[in-house]
Chain A
Amino acid sequence: MKDEGVVTVALAGQPNVGKSTVFNLLTGLSQHVGNWPGKTVEQKSGTYTYNGTTFRLVDLPGTYSLTANSPEEVIAREFIIRERPDVVVVIVNAAQLERSLYLLAEILPLGAPVIVGLNMTDVAEQEGIGVEPAVLQAALGVPVVPMAASKNQGVDTLVKTIDVVARDAPRVCSPRLPEIRADHRAVLQDLERLIAGRVPEPYPVSWIALKLLEGDAEITRLMQERLAPEQWTQVHDILAKHEDAVIAVASGRYDWIGRMIRAALVRPRTGQIGLTERLDRWATHPIGGLLLLAGILGMVFWLTYAVGAPLQELIDTYIVGAVADWVTGLTAGGPGWLRGLLVDGVIGGVGTVITFTPILLIFFAALGLLEDTGYMARAAYVMDRFMHLMGLHGKSFLPLFLGFGCNVPSVMGTRIIESRRAQLLTILLIPLVPCTGRLAVLAFLAPVFFGGWGPWVSFGLVIGALIVLVVSGVLFNRFLFRGERAAFIMELPLYHVPNGRTIGLFVWRHTVEFLKKAGSIILVVSVVVWALSYFPAGDVEASFLAQIGWWLTPLGKLMGLDWKLLVALFASFVAKENSVATLGVLYGAGEQGEGLAQILSGVVTPAAGLSFLTVQMLFVPCVATMAVVRQETGSWRWMLFSVLFLLVISFVGGVAVYQVARLVGL
């Protein structure tokens, strides 16, 4: 693990302490994003050089503590214990010093050399809180570096201090360690005596004893394996008698924090109202907060489409279209299948992904901005009571909302949900959130079928999809995921001025992730679908795809859909907006689809059109989404369940809408 001459630095910190801003400042675009081995938790690392030495910076997951409540916490502590980084930088929030030092209280007993990055001193000032770094340093016994990372202050000093500690840790780090509350000290010693000699390397004995008392599931399992049965019985008896010790341990840590900050912290005068409190009067109000949220989301949509859609069109015409024309010209002399493979298969697939990038960029930028100011937690809070209907809580709102941009990052975003049950449920519901692809199809076809009523029909269909989402959520919660709801405990961070670099990297990372994931899969499937639509005869109307469509005609009839509309639905499996292009091919419209509108309005009745749009809103999501569903649920079964569920829902929806529409005479 340890390369000669490379210093490993672990970056630890609770959520909302500005840790990723520090990480981004230090590593910039050198960062590498992957997963922790065997986990679906993101691992970010990067390098920087200082004085000729290379420093490898590993960003540990942001956690409030190091007890095995979640995979993130286990990853963070295992890294410090097993990989033995040369330096651990613990970022704390000066505006919430007491709470954010708790993680430090957990990390210090692990024995690694520690530096405290006292971040967000600017926010603290704005809230009227003063912290004396030198006094805190004297109390803690480890270096304390004051910083305001979002304003690029203090980062140089941090880099210097890391270098100093990496060279000679014992000289600068002699921390004072927290202790368990006095009434449990004897118990802790008993435990240490019992397990001494049986604790595997490299775990510290006292730390293991403490984790046993805290009821840490992982450590309990570990020690049960390592201890002889009679020893384990003794340990178990002690633990059973002291089930409440977890509170004594936490209290001990907070008592220690109290001693550490007593001299260093100047609290605001009582009665002084900070910026956060003033803003929250609006942002978290049960009605005002909802109106504000609706307004903000409306703005995000407006911005995304007002700016993104024209850009998308430009790219489509001047880049994708131009390349397609150029390739068409190049292959003019060659066989027809070559042109088809390159233009319809490869360029069609990749082009789709590329034209979507501007919309996603804008959407992610807006989300990154809301996230970085601290607003998103408020959105989750005001939505909590609605999410309860589905047995979810506020935290599921964020990934669901992300789904309006693209279902792919949305499914990946469910990682923030602590409970597996709630995560699965959210993943099952996400495909019912209409993504930009579906909305684009809706925007194009609704006016074709319904003329001036188009926008209203579109609006109704979006609302309809969301109603289906809520009803499905309620039913799933009632019948499939019975059991207790995960606890809703969420920090509302202090508002702060967003940092351009943080948002920029947020957008960059999400977009790259989307392009990589979606791009490669869409390319493959796009080629496959093209092949199905081309072979065996080189003509769509006699292709395999058409045969499948013909074969399903009896089902289609119930929904009022002919085989061409059915095939268009299947094509949307590659990417949602493909259905329009496929309709263009099948109905023999002109290249740019201008003719398509007239042809369609002539042959498709409004009832069939409504049915088609309904099915396409509820249909199986695109293949890229399916791939991440498989990845995040970690099982083919859940992915297949999701596909089946959506097939049934969209079929039932289509039949119902078509039959009702005919009854009322559309």
Chain B
Amino acid sequence: MSEREELGVVLATGGWPPLDWIEEHAELWEHLEAEEEHISAQVLDWPRTHEADPLGSEMEQVAQQVRHQGDYRVVEVGYHRYARPSLEEALERAIARGCPRVVVVPTSFTCSGSPMEQDILRRVATVQEQHPEVEIIYAGPPFDRQRQADLIVQQVERHTTAPLRVEAGVLRLHALKAGEAAEVVSLIGGRDLVSRLAALGFTPGAAVTMVQNYGHGPVIVAIRGTRIALGRGEAGKIRVRKG
């Protein structure tokens, strides 16, 4: 997809206060945490439906998929806050099912050093103390960056299958058929390429005629009295309007 280089991608993520800030404002932070704990405790027993708790249903499905793919004895979801089972309860369930080794994996791929991660570590340590016979492993970040990126790229692709909306009548240069004339509207791409194309005469308003285009492979266009052969990729970076 040559459209990729026209795409902007934003990674939306949670934010955390820096650790030294938390240390300096321990009181404020503890207050906030206590507040959240308090609210969390009230929410826990609220009856849950699929519609009202989409996160819960999604986590269930993820857990099932992991169990299936990994062939594990137990895969439980343990919530940090606001839902049951809690992390401790989930650990206990796994232990109760007789697993000699339990692995805790955060589902937020990027939580290194966050207060949430520290909280998880504290709670895991507590359970470990109570069950010295079981080996509890925390498998936190960093996750494989390349595969994270793969996932994100895949997601971007899935949501960008529809053709890019462009101004009516504007198309890529290689969409012209042989003999058709058009006017250059804009150039897309890195500065080096744009600069080379502009020097050859591909500037907005310039008249361009497709001389040869077999629907695959390079094309030949005539611009400002010169014939220029362009790779298909390069031609795709020139936007034209038929006229």
Q: Is the CB of A384 within 8 A of B231?
A: yes
Q: Is the CB of A246 within 8 A of B226?
A: no
Q: Which residues of B contact A (CB under 8 A)?
A: 186-187, 191-201, 203-206, 211-212, 214, 216-218, 220, 223-231, 233-234
A-B contact pairs, 14 of them (CB 8 A): A98-B201, A99-B224, A214-B195, A215-B191, A247-B194, A251-B204, A280-B212, A286-B217, A385-B216, A393-B231, A488-B218, A490-B228, A491-B226, A492-B229
Name 15 extra pairs, CB < 8 A, besides A98-B201, A99-B225, A492-B227: A97-B225, A99-B224, A129-B225, A247-B204, A251-B204, A254-B201, A276-B227, A280-B220, A280-B227, A286-B214, A384-B231, A385-B217, A394-B229, A489-B231, A491-B200
Q: Is the CB of B195 within 8 A of A246?
A: yes
Q: Is the CB of A489 within 8 A of B196?
A: yes
Asked if A377 is an interface residue, CB under 8 A from chain B, the answer is yes
Q: Is the CB of B225 within 8 A of A490?
A: no
* Chain A, interface residues (CB within 8 Å), range: 35 or more
Q: Which residues from B are CB-within-8-Å of A251?
A: 198, 203-205
Report B221 CB to chain A, min CB distance, Å: 10
CA distance A249 to B204 in the complex (A): 11
Q: Is the CB of A377 within 8 A of B203?
A: no
Report A239 CB to chain B, min CB distance, Å: 11
Q: Is the CB of A102 within 8 A of B199?
A: yes
CA distance A394 to B229 in the complex (A): 10
Q: Is the CB of B234 within 8 A of A488?
A: yes
Q: Which residues of A contact B (CB under 8 A)?
A: 64-65, 67, 69, 95-99, 102, 129, 214-215, 243, 246-247, 249-251, 254, 276-277, 280, 284, 286, 377, 380-381, 384-385, 393-394, 485, 487-492, 494
Q: Is the CB of B227 within 8 A of A491?
A: yes
CA distance A250 to B196 in the complex (A): 10
Report B71 CB to chain A, min CB distance, Å: 34
CA distance A97 to B226 in the complex (A): 9
Q: Which residues from B are CB-within-8-Å of A246?
A: 191, 194-195, 198
Report B147 CB to chain A, min CB distance, Å: 18
Q: Which residues from B are CB-within-8-Å of A102?
A: 199, 201
Q: Is the CB of A96 within 8 A of B229?
A: no
Given contacts A254-B201, A284-B220, contact A95 B225 (CB under 8 A): yes
CA distance A254 to B205 in the complex (A): 10
Q: Is the CB of B199 within 8 A of A489?
A: no
Given contacts A246-B191, A250-B198, A284-B212, contact A385 B203 (CB under 8 A): no
Q: Which residues from A are CB-within-8-Å of B199?
A: 64-65, 67, 102, 250
Q: Which residues from B are CB-within-8-Å of A380?
A: 229
Report B149 CB to chain A, min CB distance, Å: 16
Q: Which residues from A are CB-within-8-Å of B200?
A: 64, 99, 489, 491
Q: Which residues from A are CB-within-8-Å of B227?
A: 276, 280, 491-492, 494
4 interchain residue pairs of minimum CB distance:
A488-B231, A250-B198, A65-B199, A492-B227
Q: Which residues from B are CB-within-8-Å of A98?
A: 201, 224-226
Q: Is the CB of A243 within 8 A of B191?
A: yes
Given contacts A98-B225, A215-B191, A393-B231, contact A64 B196 (CB under 8 A): yes
Report A284 CB to chain B, min CB distance, Å: 6
Q: Which residues from A are CB-within-8-Å of B191?
A: 215, 243, 246
Q: Is the CB of A254 within 8 A of B231?
A: no
Closest to A106 in B: B199
Q: Which residues from B are CB-within-8-Å of A492?
A: 220, 227-229
Report A114 CB to chain B, min CB distance, Å: 19
Please indicate which of the listed interface residues A64, A129, A247, A485 has the most CB atoms of chain B within 10 Å of its own CB: A247
Report A178 CB to chain B, min CB distance, Å: 13
CA distance A65 to B195 in the complex (A): 9
CA distance A276 to B225 in the complex (A): 12
CA distance A98 to B223 in the complex (A): 10
Report A377 CB to chain B, min CB distance, Å: 7
Q: Is the CB of A384 within 8 A of B217?
A: yes
CA distance A165 to B240 in the complex (A): 44
CA distance A98 to B206 in the complex (A): 11
Q: Which residues from A are CB-within-8-Å of B203?
A: 247, 250-251, 254
Report A488 CB to chain B, min CB distance, Å: 3
Closest to B192 in A: A69
Closest to A277 in B: B211
CA distance A497 to B130 in the complex (A): 94
